[in-house]
């Protein structure tokens, strides 16, 4: 039994797969962490975590939805962060990939959510795309009382990985590591200490090569485990145990519940 640390099981694309996902939580997956990206998904992520024992919630507003960061979103987190199934703020961060992004708005919302994570004393699940320089600058200037963070879906090079690791962050890898055009990530994975790694699908997106172009399901994280096991030269059963320990240490509420 393994863990998917980042799967949007509340995404509309996965509605038709709900029974399959629930079955995988009985036979293949020990738990799933379901992040948010806008106010609606904050509410549904929280609801899923209350209804499904093996599902945990992360609450935040994604940078591409930064205009949804308002008093209602802020208060929803304050009202629910102490729930035992809310294990992080996420996913939030910076995303400069698409044309027309509002850099100043994204930075303002990022810093606001970062301060809220500190207030809640919860770790952060970061989304960073084409924005590592600004992310590193902003975070390094605001580390006081920081409760830790993981950069999800990491696809940067070793130099970026080193800077993130130097700030104490974890790095999480997706099915991208199985893509034939992303072999540079193999060297990154070799470089990153095993106790600083987490694994995810980012379902319903980024299905591993075996299912590339199809809807990604949380159970497909198995392929990510297999690939990282191969790259690191670690037995699968040993990797499974290490990743589980990493998850329980980082998402400390998960560790408390599953002690």
Residue 33's pLDDT band (cuts 50, 70, 90): very high
> pTM for this structure?
0.96
pLDDT at site 93: 98
For residue 259, pLDDT beyond 60: no
pLDDT tens per residue, range 84-122:
999 999 999 999 999 999 999 999 999 999 999 999 999
Range of the domain at 196: 2-257
* CATH number of the domain enclosing 100: 3.20.20.140
In the predicted structure, residue 256 carries a pLDDT above the cut 80: no
**Mean pLDDT throughout 209-220?**
96
Is the pLDDT at 60 greater than 90? The verdict is yes
In sequence order, what are the beta bridge partners of 31? 3
Q: With 90 as the cut, is the pLDDT of residue 67 above it? A: yes
Give me the mean pLDDT over the 197-210 stretch: 97
**Torsion-angle region of residue 90: left (phi > 0), alpha (psi -120 to 50) or beta?**
left
Residue 244 has pLDDT above 60, yes or no: yes
| For residue 164, pLDDT beyond 80 | yes
**According to DSSP H, which parts of the chain are helical?**
18-27, 39-51, 71-80, 103-120, 132-140, 158-166, 184-191, 221-232, 236-250, 252-257
Confidence (pLDDT) at 257: 59
No. of H helices and E strands in the chain? 10, 8
pLDDT confidence of residue 255: 73
How many Å is the Cα radius of gyration of the chain?
A: 17
pLDDT at 39 over 90: yes
CA 150 to chain centre: 7
Percent of the chain with pLDDT over 90: 97
Residue of 59, 58, 66, 125 lying closest to 95 (CA atoms): 66
Task: Kindly tell me if the per-residue pLDDT of 198 is higher than 70.
Answer: yes
pLDDT > 90? residue 53 = yes
Q: Count the domains in the chain.
A: 1
Q: What is the chain's mean pLDDT, rounded?
A: 96
């Amino acid at each position: 039994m393994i863990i998917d640390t980042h799967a949007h099981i509340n995404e509309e694309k996965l509605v038709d797969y709900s029974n399959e996902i629930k079955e995988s939580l009985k036979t293949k997956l020990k738990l799933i962490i379901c992040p948010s990206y806008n106010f609606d998904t904050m509410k549904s992520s929280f609801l899923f975590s209350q209804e499904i024992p093996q599902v945990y919630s992360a609450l935040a507003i994604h940078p591409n939805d930064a205009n949804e960061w308002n008093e209602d979103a802020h208060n929803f987190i304050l009202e629910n962060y102490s729930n035992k199934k809310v294990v992080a703020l996420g996913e939030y961060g910076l995303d400069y990939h698409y044309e027309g992004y509002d850099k100043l708005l994204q930075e303002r919302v990022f810093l606001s959510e970062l301060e809220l994570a500190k207030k809640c004393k919860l770790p952060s699940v970061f989304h960073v795309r084409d924005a590592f320089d600004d992310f590193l600058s902003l975070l390094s200037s605001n580390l006081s009382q920081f409760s830790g963070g993981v950069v999800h879906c990491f696809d940067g090079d070793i130099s970026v990985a080193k800077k993130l690791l130097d700030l104490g962050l974890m790095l999480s890898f997706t099915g991208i590591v199985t893509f034939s055009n992303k072999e540079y990530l193999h060297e990154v994975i070799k470089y990153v200490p095993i106790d600083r790694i987490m694994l995810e699908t980012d379902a319903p997106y980024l299905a591993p090569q075996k299912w590339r172009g199809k809807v990604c399901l949380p159970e497909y994280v198995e392929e990510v485990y297999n690939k990282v096991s191969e790259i690191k030269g670690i037995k699968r059963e040993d990797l499974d145990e290490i990743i589980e320990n990493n998850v329980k240490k980082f998402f400390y509420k998960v560790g408390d519940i599953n002690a």
